[in-house]
Each structure stands twice: as structure tokens, then as C-alpha cells.
């Protein structure tokens, strides 16, 4: 028996009035939680079985939630998925201030363990904005303020967020923005950038080897939300004379751990 079934079985044995709750609401949320566990969708029969309800009861609850936009069912599929309206509610609960409050402790820990400056960035329109940062303990540190905008194609943080775009979105971005060369290492060819982003997408990590600032190296990893989307990027940066390519590789493991920790704070499920 699943956790959801156990909860429903226990609650069924106790009158709703005594619990101080409303049974139909409890059932609706149990259904939402079960649908959320299946990213590829779940059919009615399997859903009813997992939540321990009769198929007709499950159908009427799901139908109501679908009409309200909290559950969706593509026309060519019999499976139910989480609807856009639920995403909107969740996104609205996390404004920039809340993101900073959540990210800062993770960044502080990352800086403490690596000795390097740590950053958390999000995409705002076509801009890559650093919304939270912590300064490292080394002699040389990047002077960067929260709210700073960084070029997407020339930074590790930006590459992570560009790699998360759908092909159509990426094409639109490339068509609207010139790939400015900041150093001799900046990627300024569109096809070369596409190849780089494909590698980032496959590996789940991006590097900046002196591409925005010739004296600085960076590494970044995507931060995912409850829907598995890359909602931000976390990374570290340091001077090339201290942060060698090998040191960057060694510390990247800690950046991945920080990204996983922050993703968990945003409701993402741990990778299987």
C-alpha cells in the first residue's frame, strides 16, 4: 500500500468532523499529490487504485480540477498531468525576496567549503540576473552586486539557463541578440554556442574559462523547481591563477551538491 493509500485509509476510519477537515478536499489533494509523482502522466484506473478511491469518485474530482486548470489531460492521451494553474500558484509563492532568503544559506555554505565566490542567477526575460551572492575568502574576489546582469553566452550561469530553453526559444534569443566578444575566448559563433549548450544540456554543468573576464573562471549547475524545470543556476567563480581547470573540476562536485540542495528547497524531487 502506498503512503497516499495509507493516509486515506487512516482518514477514512476517522469521521471528517472529528478531524476538523473536509473529506472531499483531502481526497482532491491526495489526487494532486499522486499525479505530481508521475511526470509522464497517470491513467484514471491507476490513479484511483493508488489513492484508494472508487474510479467514479476519482473521475469526478479530477474532472472538476481539470475544469479549474489544476489538472490537465492532453487530447491525444488518457493520462492526467499537473495543470498550468497549479504552476502559476507555486511560482507566485516564490518572489525574488523569498528566492534570496532560500538561496543565501546554500551559497554561504558553498563558499565556506570552496573558498570561492558563489552566485545564484535566474533568467528575467532575456537577461541573466544575479539575485544572490556570497564573497569568498581568498585574496582576490569578483566584485559583483546582487541584481547585476550578465551576458548569457559568455558566462557559466548564462549557459546553464540558455541550455534549458526550448529550441524555438533559443532560436528567438539568438536571432535577437548579438554574441558580443568580451575576451578572445568568448564564443561568438552561433553554431559553436549551440554545440556548447547541447553539451551543457547533456552533462548538466557549464564552464566559463575566461570568456567574460579573461582573469576569471566559473562553473555553474542548474537549479530545478518542483516541476523539474531549470528555474535558476548556482555557481562559483575565482581567478584563473587560483582556480585552475583541475581545481574547477574538483570543486564542481560541491557545486552540484549545492544545486541539489537548493533544488530540494524549491520542491524538486531527488534524482533516482
Q: Where are the domains of the chain?
A: 3-90, 94-265
pLDDT surpasses 90 at 156: yes
Name the more confident of 170 and 125.
Answer: 170
Does 125 score more than 50 pLDDT?
Answer: yes
> How much of the chain, in percent, has pLDDT values that exceed 70?
83
If one compares 225 and 32, the residue with the highest pLDDT of the two is 32
- In this prediction, residue 36 carries a pLDDT of 84
Q: What is the pLDDT of residue 22?
A: 83
Number of CB atoms found within 10 A of residue 31's CB:
25
- What is the Cα–Cα distance from 204 to 263, expressed in whole angstroms? 14
Q: Check residue 201 and give its pLDDT.
A: 96
Which residue has cell 495543470?
Answer: 83
Confidence of residue 149 (pLDDT cuts 50, 70, 90): confident
CATH number of 3-90: 1.10.10.10
**pLDDT of 146 higher than 60:** no
pLDDT value, residue 88: 62
What's the pLDDT at 91? Answer: 57
pLDDT value of residue 139 = 55
Indicate the class that CATH gives domain 94-265. alpha beta
What gap in Å lies between CA 254 and CA 250, rounded to an integer?
Answer: 8
- pLDDT for the residue 194: 96
Element containing residue 131 per DSSP (H, E): strand 127-134
pLDDT at 242 over 70: yes
Q: Residues 133-148: what's their mean pLDDT?
A: 65
pLDDT above 70: residue 17: no
Beta strands in the chain (DSSP E): 42-43, 71-72, 79-82, 117-124, 127-134, 149-150, 206-209, 216-224, 230-239
Contact 207, 217 (CB under 8 A): yes
Q: Which three cell numbers stand for residue 4?
A: 497516499
- Average pLDDT over the chain reads 84
Higher-scoring residue by pLDDT: 156, 98: 156
Amino acid at each position: 500500500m502506498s503512503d497516499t493509500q495509507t493516509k486515506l485509509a487512516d482518514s477514512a476510519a476517522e469521521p471528517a468532523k472529528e478531524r476538523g477537515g473536509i473529506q472531499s478536499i483531502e481526497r482532491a489533494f491526495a489526487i494532486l499529490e499522486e499525479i505530481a509523482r508521475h511526470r509522464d502522466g497517470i491513467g484514471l484506473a491507476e490513479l484511483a487504485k493508488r489513492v484508494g478511491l472508487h474510479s467514479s469518485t476519482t473521475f469526478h474530482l479530477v474532472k472538476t480540477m481539470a475544469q479549474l486548470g489544476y489538472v490537465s489531460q492532453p487530447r491525444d492521451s488518457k493520462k492526467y498531468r499537473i495543470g498550468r494553474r497549479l504552476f502559476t500558484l507555486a511560482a507566485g509563492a516564490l518572489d525574488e525576496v523569498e528566492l534570496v532568503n532560500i538561496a543565501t544559506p546554500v551559497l554561504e555554505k558553498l563558499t565556506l567549503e570552496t573558498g570561492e565566490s558563489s552566485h545564484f542567477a535566474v533568467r528575467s526575460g532575456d537577461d541573466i540576473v544575479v539575485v544572490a551572492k556570497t564573497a569568498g575568502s581568498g585574496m582576490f574576489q569578483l566584485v559583483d552586486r546582487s541584481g547585476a546582469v550578465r551576458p548569457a553566452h559568455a558566462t557559466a550561469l548564462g549557459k546553464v539557463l540558455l541550455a534549458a530553453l526550448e529550441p524555438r526559444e533559443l532560436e528567438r534569443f539568438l536571432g535577437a541578440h548579438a554574441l558580443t566578444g568580451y575576451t578572445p575566448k568568448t564564443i561568438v559563433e552561433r553554431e559553436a554556442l549551440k554545440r556548447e549548450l547541447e553539451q551543457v544540456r547533456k552533462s548538466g554543468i557549464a564552464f566559463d574559462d575566461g570568456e567574460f573576464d579573461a582573469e576569471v573562471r566559473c562553473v555553474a549547475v542548474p537549479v530545478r523547481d518542483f516541476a523539474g524545470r531549470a528555474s535558476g543556476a548556482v555557481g562559483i567563480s575565482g581567478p584563473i591563477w587560483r582556480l585552475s581547470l583541475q581545481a574547477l573540476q574538483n570543486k564542481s562536485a560541491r557545486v552540484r551538491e549545492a544545486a541539489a540542495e537548493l533544488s530540494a528547497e524549491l520542491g524538486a524531487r531527488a534524482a533516482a
